[in-house]
Amino acid sequence: MGACLISLSFRKIPSDPNDQTRILRSWNTTVQDSLNEDGDDYSGGVGMLGSGVSKWFHEPFESRNDAYDFLGKNQQKWGRAIAVSYNEGGTPHWLIGGWCAE
């Protein structure tokens, strides 16, 4: 079985104390939408990662590409998604994703 690395970016709102909860809720909604649209049988969609995030890496990377490389090296196929912090144009983001079975 193959796998593809999928990720989604979410803009952080540092002044919001519920920011991580808001982002996790958005991620979980995206996962459910993927399961509804693509199914749960090796679809290659984010639904394969399941709801929730197994680990949040708070130390920000300098770019989305650096965060993506880290994501690809540190998230394991069949595991839940991980979240990696990065800055782009001075704006903080979370990159969430992982290896999706296809």
* Kind plus residue range of the DSSP H or E element containing 2: none
CB count, 10 Å around CB of 102?
13
Is the sign of the CA dihedral 14, 15, 19, 22 positive or negative? Answer: negative
pLDDT in tens, 23-63: 999 999 999 999 999 877 777 788 889 999 999 999 999 99
Q: What is the pLDDT of residues 83-97, one digit of tens each?
A: 999 999 889 999 999
The structure tokens listed for 70 are 């880290």
- CB–CB of 38/10 below 8 Å? no
| Nearest residue to 86 via CA among 62, 57, 54, 53 | 62
Which residue ranges make up each domain of the chain?
3-101
Asked whether the beta carbons of 81 and 74 are under 8 A apart, the reply is: no
